[in-house]
Amino acid sequence: MDSVEEEIYQVRKLEISDKNKGFIELLQQLTVCDSVSDEAFLERFQEIAKYGDDHVICVIQDDNSNSGRIVATGSLFIEKKFIRNCGKVGHIEDVVVDSSVRGKQLGKKIIDFLSDHARAMGCYKVILDCSLENRPFYEKCGFKQKEIQMVKYFI
């Protein structure tokens, strides 16, 4: 990425108007994500906003191509624990970069933003789940593999 692109691809927090800039379509590149009505989006946005800095969703808007589309996103929520002297852990979720702009360090920018936020909020670590395929990406972002993930789906 050249320095002009570097300046254009800035990470910022999700805004309500991002729904009309392809935010949901971007999430559909990650996993099953049905279309979301404006009302449902607003309700969930406001619910998340109540958590303030304990739950952030960040995005990168593509002002490079005049499209103004949202091309990258990721989220972080902060879990408050009793262990580790009432420590806090950051959980990173829902990281995706639009297929047209992958390989331009945007994913790394998103992870760095969320990790910096977790550190600034006093978390002693930040964790996430990923596929084996994405392990090299997260290693480039300074993460290391530890243990395994277990899951039980209810739907």
Ligand X SMILES: CC(C)(COP(=O)(O)OP(=O)(O)OC[C@H]1O[C@@H](n2cnc3c(N)ncnc32)[C@H](O)[C@@H]1OP(=O)(O)O)[C@@H](O)C(=O)NCCC(=O)NCCS
Chain residues in the site for ligand X (CB under 6 A):
30, 95-97, 102-108, 130, 133-134, 136-137, 140
The residue whose Cβ lies closest to ligand X is: 107
Cα–Cα distance for residue pair 28/22, rounded to 1 Å: 10
Cα–Cα distance for residue pair 106/147, rounded to 1 Å: 27
Residue in the structure block whose two tokens are 């002693």: 124
Chain-centre distance for alpha carbon 101:
16
30 vs 40 by CB, closer to ligand X: 30
In the complex, the smallest distance separating the C-beta of residue 39 from ligand X, rounded to whole angstroms, is 27
80 vs 125 by CB, closer to ligand X: 125
Q: Coil, strand or helix: which one is 61?
A: strand
In the complex, the smallest distance separating the C-beta of residue 116 from ligand X, rounded to whole angstroms, is 15
87 vs 102 by CB, closer to ligand X: 102
In the complex, the smallest distance separating the C-beta of residue 43 from ligand X, rounded to whole angstroms, is 25
In the complex, the smallest distance separating the C-beta of residue 134 from ligand X, rounded to whole angstroms, is 5
41 vs 143 by CB, closer to ligand X: 143
Which residues, listed in sequence order, are joined to residue 127 by a DSSP beta bridge? 91
Which residues, listed in sequence order, are joined to residue 74 by a DSSP beta bridge? 58
10 vs 37 by CB, closer to ligand X: 10
Pairing of strands 69-80, 88-97: antiparallel
In the complex, the smallest distance separating the C-beta of residue 21 from ligand X, rounded to whole angstroms, is 17
Cα–Cα distance for residue pair 51/67, rounded to 1 Å: 31
